[in-house]
């Protein structure tokens, strides 16, 4: 495939995705949103484990914290999803800062010492709700 053909295919795919809400069913849009969100999460795991060489046990917990923060703000408080996104970033960043501060205080332990219990705790909370 030539470079020009690759550019044209890429532009056509972007145009199809941009106009998808006009000609695709609502279920398909929701499905595409889930695919995009999970692709971002997987990209984070690939960067951590493959490129960075780190093991990540707490990433799912941070994704869950952000999801619950957004869901709470948008459903219980009736706020905009865009505000929920900012709120989720702030809440998740605050939890990460608290865990990081605790990790720095105990410099002798590995980074997984706090990440694994956090991930297990979030899994337990998810199973109970």
Token pair belonging to 87? 């709120």
State how far the Cα of 50 lies from the Cα of 12, in Å rounded to an integer: 31
The pTM of the full predicted model, rounded to 2 decimals, is 0.54
* Whether residue 64 sits in one domain with residue 28: no
* Whether residue 50 sits in one domain with residue 100: no
* Whether residue 76 sits in one domain with residue 47: no
State how far the Cα of 30 lies from the Cα of 15, in Å rounded to an integer: 18
* Whether residue 125 sits in one domain with residue 63: yes
| Listed residues 29, 54, 79: the one ending a domain | 54
How does pLDDT run along the chain (129 residues), one tens digit per residue? 789 999 999 999 999 988 988 898 999 888 988 898 889 888 888 887 777 776 666 777 888 899 999 999 999 998 988 899 999 999 999 998 887 777 666 666 565 566 666 666 666 666 555
* Domain carrying residue 119: 55-129
User: Helix 112-128 vs helix 81-105: angle between axes, to the nearest 10 degrees?
Assistant: 140
* Whether residue 64 sits in one domain with residue 48: no
* Whether residue 81 sits in one domain with residue 45: no
Q: Who contacts 8 (Cβ-Cβ below 8 Å, separation ≥6)?
A: none
User: How many domains, in total, are found in the chain?
Assistant: 2
């Amino acid at each position: 495939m030539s470079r020009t053909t690759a550019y044209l295919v890429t532009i056509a795919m972007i145009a199809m995705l941009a106009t998808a809400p006009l000609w695709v069913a609502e279920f398909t849009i929701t499905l595409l949103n889930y695919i995009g969100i999970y692709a971002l999460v997987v990209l984070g795991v690939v960067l951590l484990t493959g490129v960075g060489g780190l093991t990540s046990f707490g990433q799912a917990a941070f994704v869950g914290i952000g999801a619950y923060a957004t869901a709470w703000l948008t459903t219980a408080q009736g706020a905009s999803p865009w505000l929920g996104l900012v709120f989720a970033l702030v809440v998740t960043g605050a939890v990460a800062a608290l865990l990081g501060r605790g990790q720095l205080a105990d410099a002798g332990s590995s980074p997984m010492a706090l990440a694994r219990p956090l991930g297990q705790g979030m899994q337990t909370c998810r199973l109970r709700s």
